[in-house]
Amino acid sequence: MKKWLLILLLAVSIKSSAQSKYAFPESLKITPEKSNFEKTSTYADVTQFLASISTLSNQIYITSVGKSTLGKDMPLAILANPAITSPEEAKRSGKPVIYIQANIHGGEVEGKEVALMLMRDILLGDKNYLLDHQIIIFMPIYNIDGNDKMAKGLRPSQENSPLETGERENGQGLDLNRDGVKMEAPETKALIENVFTKWDPQMTVDLHTTNGTWHGYALTWAPGYLYAGQPETYAYTNNTILPYITQQLKEKNDLNIGPFGDFYTKEKWPLTNFYTYNHHPRYIINQMGLRNRQSILSESFAHERFYQRINSTYQFVFAILAYCNKNATTIQQVNMQAEKAAIDLVLQQAGKVKKGVRYKMVPTNAPLKNFRTYEYTKFIQSDGKEQLVKTGKIVYHDSISYYGAFKDTVQSTLPRGYIIPAAFKNIADQLIKHGAQVTQLDQNTVFNGESFWVQQFTKSSRKFEGHFMASAEGNYQPITYTAQKGDYLIDLAQPLANLIFYLLEPQSDDGLLCWNFFDTFFEKEKVNEQSVQYPIIKYFNIKTKRKK
């Protein structure tokens, strides 16, 4: 009897010890947990949480990467074992940096809560092993100003769960997930300069909520699209990481997740097509591919309750972190292979190979099978018209064409580099903000290359993100060009070759010309009356150098 009592007491002792080991103080209870998941965290709630947890662990460092439009500090939490406080220390550690970003849209809030929960579990709970082979940096509340403009009804597809959310846009009224090229928001400038360029994350995960399509998945995902970039990072993420995690979450958590997209009942029902989002680098996730880095878009299902969306997002991000921790070396190697391939292509094929600059969405080679969605039933209205009404039943469809690929419709020759006249310092500065290597000529230099002549310059009649988007049609002509001392030289044999190419090509569908960086020049040159030479010169080789 005494022996069994001793065993019982020992078991109780072990259980109590385990509970106390992973019990968190009241200060680390997040807002949804305090409100029965009716409320989401404010900026003050997030900063209070970060201040509290930083006093409880020596494996977290909190810094600010910049200011929001309304002047609030943008907190970045760096988790590492041992502690890391600078990008230089991170690089010396040899561990890859994994970046988790939440709340880029102020109304899409579960990622913000998941970031805090994961920090709590990694630093003080049972997931500290996730810091064995990687450094994890969290931006839990990227769109600070939009987050705190809370009101009811801002996200109708989320069905008042939580009751109030923030706005989609930042304090300037800009969508931060359309600002990746033009970088007009202080938040974007801070992100690219102080996170992407300095910390150089090998994997970026961006956390969102869908806008309302009634598919049957708890969460959908997409890899970063990079069709002007090297294929290595996309292929590894799309063909290896995401299928593995999809299977794991189904087997371990009974979560159904799948590729991101939308379908349209007005197009056809039963559905036959499913469409992803666009490939443009204005989206942060897509830009990472052009930087030779991996990235994943996460979109929780808007129509589930807040606590369900938190759960699916938590499990998805945790699975990504677990995978990256286990395969840290492979992820770094894939990215370095892509970076080397981008540079080698310039060194070996400049002037000989063409790359896409405009794309159209096309179906993938393999259609989607066993596609999960809510069923729609047809009814005849009193006016005789047919109406589709969603039911509560989950159905499965095969042979769904997944428009999740892109094919180039316009190509341009990859140069060895570009010449930017000194008068266009703003263009050089924009590239430098993106992290590009830009130098100035110390003497007059003659280049062989080609120049684009604009024969048609058009602008959209509708405003988008504060811009009337521009496009140019024309053709390239061979040129021997004498660049002047002080002009800017961009040698494309550098890691950001693909991003620079996409930004500077005049026919790019998301380049600087699109975002009106050259409008003043073209208007001055009366582009609507005559053919005008695009001011950025593409060069293939250096012919001679001349002293002035």
| Helices and strands (H, E) in the chain, number of each type | 16, 21
Residues 332 and 431 in one domain: no
Task: Give a yes or no: residue 408 inside a domain.
Answer: no
pLDDT score, position 21: 58
Residues 297 and 430 in one domain: no
**Chain length of the chain:** 548
Task: Give a yes or no: residue 402 inside a domain.
Answer: no
CA distances from 296 to 27, 53, 106, 408 (A): 31, 27, 19, 22
Q: Say which DSSP state 309 is in.
A: H
Is the confidence at residue 345, as pLDDT, over 80?
Answer: yes
Is the confidence at residue 468, as pLDDT, over 80?
Answer: yes
Q: Which domain-ending residue is among 345, 363, 386?
A: 345
Residues 447 and 338 in one domain: no
Residues 198 and 106 in one domain: yes
Residues 6+ apart with CB under 8 A from 162: 32, 35, 37, 38, 39, 40, 109, 306
Residues 428 and 332 in one domain: no
pLDDT, mean of residues 396-403: 96
Task: Give a yes or no: residue 66 inside a domain.
Answer: yes
Q: Which domain-ending residue is among 345, 373, 401?
A: 345
Task: Give a yes or no: residue 163 inside a domain.
Answer: yes
pLDDT digits (tens, 9 = 90+) for 196-252: 999 999 999 999 999 889 999 999 999 998 777 899 999 999 999 999 999 999 999
Mean pLDDT, the chain, whole residue set:
94
Q: Tokens at residue 382, please? A: 């009193």
pLDDT, mean of residues 1-14: 42
Task: Give a yes or no: residue 499 inside a domain.
Answer: yes
Q: Which of 454, 431, 414 is nearest to 534 (CA)?
A: 454
Residues 189 and 303 in one domain: yes
pLDDT, mean of residues 482-510: 97
| 268: confidence class by pLDDT, cuts 50, 70, 90 | confident
Query: The dihedral of CA 130, 131, 135, 141: what is its sign?
Result: positive
Residue 538: what residue type? K
pLDDT, mean of residues 456-471: 97
Q: What's the domain count of the chain?
A: 2
Q: Tokens at residue 104, please? A: 């880029």
Cα atoms in the Cβ-side hemisphere of radius 13 Å centred on 460: 14
| 1: confidence class by pLDDT, cuts 50, 70, 90 | very low
Residues 426/516, Cβ–Cβ less than 8 Å: no
pLDDT score, position 528: 93
Residues 448 and 526 in one domain: yes
Q: Which of 528, 414, 531, 416 is nearest to 475 (CA)?
A: 531
Rounded Cα distance, 185 and 466, in Å: 12
pLDDT digits (tens, 9 = 90+) for 357-386: 999 999 999 999 999 999 999 999 999 998
pLDDT score, position 477: 97
> For residues 167-197, b (16+ Cβ closer than 10 Å) or e, as one string?
bbbbbbebbbbbbbbbbbbbbbbbbbbbbbb
How many other CB atoms are found less than 10 A from the CB of residue 157?
14
Residues 288 and 431 in one domain: no
- pTM value? 0.94
Provide the H-helix boundaries in 223-327: 231-236, 242-253, 284-290, 306-326
Q: Say which DSSP state 237 is in.
A: I
161-164: long-range contacts at Cβ-Cβ below 8 A with a sequence spacing of 24 or more?
Answer: 161/37, 161/38, 161/305, 161/306, 162/32, 162/35, 162/37, 162/38, 162/39, 162/40, 162/109, 162/306, 163/38, 163/39, 164/39, 164/40
Q: Tokens at residue 531, please? A: 């053919």
Is the confidence at residue 19, as pLDDT, over 80?
Answer: no
Residue with tokens 């009804």: 153
Q: Which residues pair with 209 in a beta bridge?
A: 300
Domain carrying residue 461:
415-546
How many other CB atoms are found less than 10 A from the CB of residue 244?
13
pLDDT score, position 12: 40
How many other CB atoms are found less than 10 A from the CB of residue 543?
15
Rounded Cα distance, 87 and 130, in Å: 19
pLDDT score, position 212: 86
pLDDT, mean of residues 320-337: 98
CATH of the domain at 151: 3.40.630.10
Rounded Cα distance, 122 and 217, in Å: 27
pLDDT score, position 152: 94
Task: Give a yes or no: residue 366 inside a domain.
Answer: no
Task: Give a yes or no: residue 117 inside a domain.
Answer: yes
Rounded Cα distance, 357 and 360, in Å: 10
pLDDT digits (tens, 9 = 90+) for 269-304: 999 999 999 999 999 999 999 999 999 999 999 999
Q: Which domain-ending residue is among 326, 345, 364?
A: 345
pLDDT score, position 22: 74
pLDDT digits (tens, 9 = 90+) for 101-144: 999 999 999 999 999 999 999 999 999 999 999 999 999 999 99
pLDDT, mean of residues 504-513: 98
Considering the chain, what percentage of its residues have pLDDT values greater than 70? 95
Residues 448 and 315 in one domain: no
Cα-based torsion angle of the residue sequence 346, 348, 350, 356 in order, rounded to the nearest 10 degrees: -70
Residues 305/295, Cβ–Cβ less than 8 Å: no
pLDDT digits (tens, 9 = 90+) for 49-95: 999 999 999 999 999 999 999 999 999 999 999 999 999 999 999 99
Residues 319 and 446 in one domain: no
Rounded Cα distance, 490 and 501, in Å: 10
Residues 304 and 160 in one domain: yes
pLDDT digits (tens, 9 = 90+) for 35-45: 999 999 999 99
Task: Give a yes or no: residue 229 inside a domain.
Answer: yes
Residues 316 and 435 in one domain: no
CA distances from 397 to 50, 207, 270 (A): 45, 27, 8
Residues 6+ apart with CB under 8 A from 398: 367, 368, 369, 370, 371
| 543: confidence class by pLDDT, cuts 50, 70, 90 | confident
Sequential DSSP letters for 310-348: HHHHHHHHHHHHHHHHHTHHHHHHHHHHHHHHHHHHHHH
| 545: confidence class by pLDDT, cuts 50, 70, 90 | low
Q: Tokens at residue 514, please? A: 């699109």
